Amino acid sequence: MLPTDSMDDDAAARRRAGVAAASMKQHSDSTPAAEDVPASTYARLERSVILWLVGDNVLYTFAGLGKKSVRVPCLLMEMLVFPISMSLCMLYAYGTLDSSAVRKRSILLWVLYMIYQAIITLVIVRVNDFPLARGVMLFFFHLFFAAAFGWLIGALRDELRALSSMDNSRIKRLFELMGFQLALVVIGATQGIGKGDLPRIAATSTFSMSLIMAWLFALAIFDVSGLDMTVAGIRMDLRPREGAALLFTGTLTLAGLASWVLSEQNDPSRKMVVAVFDVFVVALLGAYFCTARIIWVARRRRRSKVGDDLPA
């Protein structure tokens, strides 16, 4: 072999290594660098969301540590506001997909908010003489939201960025949903936020939460898995995880509708409100694990495809 041939082979090898490294870097960042915007672009949105969450937690704090006369009104008002806080966190996470730097900020904001809510929940249960079992359930409910949904929000965001499949109509629908949630706050507050209104406010809050949760799970079921509901419904061709996710999400939505019916009653049954909320929680857990599975499978397939596409 001539020396020039050896030099050509070395140059070709270096070119292949460079192509592989560039390809790996491109696939590791789901959005090309030219399209990635800095987090400062959404600084106003971030400050607005933080301000709202702080106000929400102030209400919740007064519900546990305020004067006895303001505890129940603050608690009921916070229950109405809580679903909007969740929607704002979703808006910050998924309305900013063109900025990779927002990912950590949105998850951190969500986790800190839910952890504070979990801590104050125990205080509220103690000072208001609520059932301890229900208080413990709500405490772990918030912790589950902080940890499990923190992962889900980040993983789903990564897949949507990788697929570039986030339709602007989804964000438009989120804004419409938030407007409806705000209307529920106004209706619930004007009808009364006294101690006797707790079952009605709880039902309204459950209905409002079901809206944002159904929106979130729909992103994973339809955008990430690529499920065409019309074709799947006609052919009855659903994977088990997709069918289970739709089943639990549908149950969650029905529980929300049942809560809405209860909230329209002047004096809804406390036992019925609690029973519907328990169904909502079970459906929420089922939908979470099914959508988490969908996202995990999609991520594994995407990463394996990236490995297969790399040149040998």
**In degrees, to the nearest 5, what angle opens at C-alpha 243 toward C-alphas 250 and 245?**
55
- Model confidence pLDDT, tens digit, residues 118-143: 999 999 988 877 888 888 888 998 99
b/e string for 225-254 if b means 16 or more Cβ within 10 A? bebeeeeeeeeeebeebbebbbebbebbbe
- Is residue 9 assigned to a domain? no
Locate all alpha helices (DSSP H) within 29-131, ordered by sequence. Answer: 43-65, 68-94, 102-127
Q: Is residue 16 part of a domain?
A: no
Q: Domain containing 164: what range?
A: 39-309
3-state secondary structure (DSSP) of residue 132: helix
Q: What is the mean pLDDT of the chain?
A: 84
Each residue's pLDDT tens digit, 158-199: 988 888 756 678 889 999 999 999 999 999 999 989 888 999
What is the per-residue pLDDT for 221?
86
Residue 7 lies in a domain: no
In the predicted structure, residue 7 carries a pLDDT above the cut 60: no
**Residue 178 maps to a domain:** yes
Domain count, the chain: 1
Q: Amino acid letter at 96?
A: T
